[in-house]
A and B are shown apart, each in its own frame.
Chain A
């Protein structure tokens, strides 16, 4: 049985790795540069065509049903199998059928752009896709990640032999999603672009075609995903940051055991995402006074770190603003006007043909650079704050007498359920007496306490 499931997983992995290679042979580039002179053939769009409004409402309906089912399977049924089946459906519908657009991860940018650009009309279904999973996480945890997100599903399908990421490395990598979220918000707010969509590693798989570099990036992510479970979700996903915050406050969250934990330690290694935390009693007693001093030092240092990193962020104004089309065009025009560049580019040719005064373009570009300066301060300050909060978190002690799930990082995937002896009792596989026995046999914590 185990051998069979391993074989079917290997088959899925092989298919996923072959898809983009097939697509790559058919699609040259996502957005090739236009030729304005002669024989111009307008390239076909590779981004999916917008759907009729009625179909968008169907997408909303599918999202609502999928979210409801994911929550039901995780909380009520506690069925990993059903969660997995729903995940396959989501991969097929939101991934391959809807070609990964729109997804809540990318919707962060639409929402930001809508908040900062008075002329931008955000479609209703984009708002729903952004808000609904967050609201659900606020009440029931990250069930969206478990079975509805196509990006999570494609990575979950390739998890073959997950290994634990060392604590220190995981802590460092966990800052990356905040940085990515901050950058995405900054670039969307200034109108520079939607980097989450541009650098989505799996979109090429869903659309059977992408830029060569993105295919390589996607394949690397999947390859890494065979041993490090869901690397994009854990160490890059910007929407995961928001879901993490919401899930920490969730009213009801999935637990490892349906009953009281007997600290049998059977679930200890069951979570490939490192979301299961050990009881504090098992940890060696620490020097409390020294830890309190360190904590006080970090709290005092916090404003300095926030200001310092804000300053560093503001210094990135020039390189970051070059990502905006108008700023890069203004720089090219400036180079051409000063004679430092003799060959005109397609963009500068088009601009010169428009008859728009260069002064107007330069004024626009410097206004955008000012926006980037302010945004850089905020982005830098935000990253500084996150770093300090992560350090503070290291010194915070919470009294916990049993194994528990970290509400923020738990994806509600249900992998740990079957490891709990009381879950086996609930399913009628073993008797309560046998479960008790398992606990008393394995647990060292109770002895340690005694």
Chain B
């Protein structure tokens, strides 16, 4: 009886260990793949899908509103950079 219980426990542990290894491998692979992809593509798209005020506005590259001109002159803000890149595409 005790032996059977031990056997079942060992089998469960074996399955658990196997599944854990698969999940760990999956997470590691996903992380490495996305890291590699992110590295080779960096700077193409904005890092989140939160809608920015001028996102989708075709007028932004030529907009003459003073704040828009000011926005275009901010080269260090990646969010604005990404908007500009998108418009050029």
Contacts and interface: CB of A to CB of B under 8 A. Distances in A.
Interface of A: 31-34, 36, 40-43, 45, 47, 49-50, 106, 109-111, 113-115, 117, 119-124, 126-128, 130-131, 134-135, 138-139, 188, 191-194, 197-198, 246, 249, 251, 325, 347, 350-351, 353-356
A134 B23 CA distance: 10
B48 A350 contact: no
Interface string B12-24: 0000100110011
Given A131-B27, A251-B20, A120 B56 contact: no
24 contacts: A31-B52, A33-B53, A34-B53, A34-B54, A34-B57, A36-B59, A47-B79, A110-B48, A117-B45, A121-B38, A121-B41, A121-B45, A121-B47, A122-B38, A122-B47, A134-B27, A135-B24, A138-B24, A197-B50, A249-B16, A249-B23, A251-B20, A347-B56, A354-B59
A110 B47 contact: yes
A192 to B, nearest CB: 8
Interface string B35-59: 1011111111101111111101111
Interface of B: 16, 19-20, 23-24, 27-28, 30-31, 34-35, 37-45, 47-54, 56-59, 65, 67-68, 70-71, 77-79
Nearest to A41: B67
Given A50-B78, A138-B20, A42 B58 contact: no
Per DSSP, chain B at the interface is helix
Contacts of A139: 20
B49 A350 contact: no
Nearest to A123: B47
Which 9 A/B pairs are nearest by Cβ-Cβ distance? A354-B58, A42-B67, A121-B41, A131-B31, A121-B38, A122-B38, A121-B42, A120-B45, A40-B65
A1 B54 CA distance: 55
A351 B56 CA distance: 8
Nearest to A194: B49
A126 B47 contact: yes
Given A122-B37, A131-B31, A45 B49 contact: no
A109 B71 CA distance: 28
